[in-house]
């Protein structure tokens, strides 16, 4: 797959497959480890983005509740 955010042609990012697989693994691990939800005390403003050309969301708060007993010991210092 040649994704546009990695550019294309001869200068395409040679690390794109590492980046894609790493994102998949880390997302899967986070979803396995935690129930992730909105913090009702600090609701997410879904319209809060940066003004830059590559707009991205401003920081927001989430609640991470472990899904597995003894998670901290299992993950160590991760
Ligand atoms: C989300 C992660 C990444 C994004 C969005 C990204 C994006 C890009 C972009 C836009 C370019 C420029 C392409 C061009 O000049 O036309 C590039 C080049 C490059 N990237 Fe990545 N990259 C990522 C991860 C990585 C990783 C993990 C590695 C190495 C393991 C890597 C190594 C390189 C190298 C060596 C180039 C220079 C290629 C060249 O000039 O021939 N990148 N990347």
Residue keyed to tokens 């707009």: 55
What is d(CA 74, CA 2) in angstroms, rounded to the nearest whole number?
36
pTM score, two decimals? 0.77
For 39, phi and psi rounded to 5 degrees? -85, 110
What's the mean pLDDT in 9-32? Answer: 94
What's the mean pLDDT in 5-27? Answer: 91
pLDDT at 3 over 70: no
Tell me what pLDDT residue 30 has: 94
Tell me what pLDDT residue 36 has: 97
In the reported structure, the alpha carbon of residue 40 is separated from the centroid of ligand 1 by a whole-number distance in angstroms of 38
- Ligand 1: does its nearest atom lie under 6 Å from the Cβ of 18? yes
In the reported structure, the alpha carbon of residue 42 is separated from the centroid of ligand 1 by a whole-number distance in angstroms of 35
What is d(CA 55, CA 29) in angstroms, rounded to the nearest whole number?
26
Tell me what pLDDT residue 26 has: 96
> Which has the closest alpha carbon to 35: 75, 60, 65, 71?
65
């Amino acid at each position: 797959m040649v994704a546009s955010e990695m550019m294309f042609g001869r200068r395409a990012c040679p690390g794109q497959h590492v980046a894609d697989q790493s994102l998949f693994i880390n997302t899967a691990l986070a979803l396995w480890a935690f129930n992730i939800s909105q913090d009702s005390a600090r609701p997410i403003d879904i319209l809060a983005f940066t003004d830059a050309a590559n707009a991205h969301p401003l920081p927001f708060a989430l609640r991470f509740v472990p899904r597995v007993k003894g998670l901290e010991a299992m993950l160590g210092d991760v």
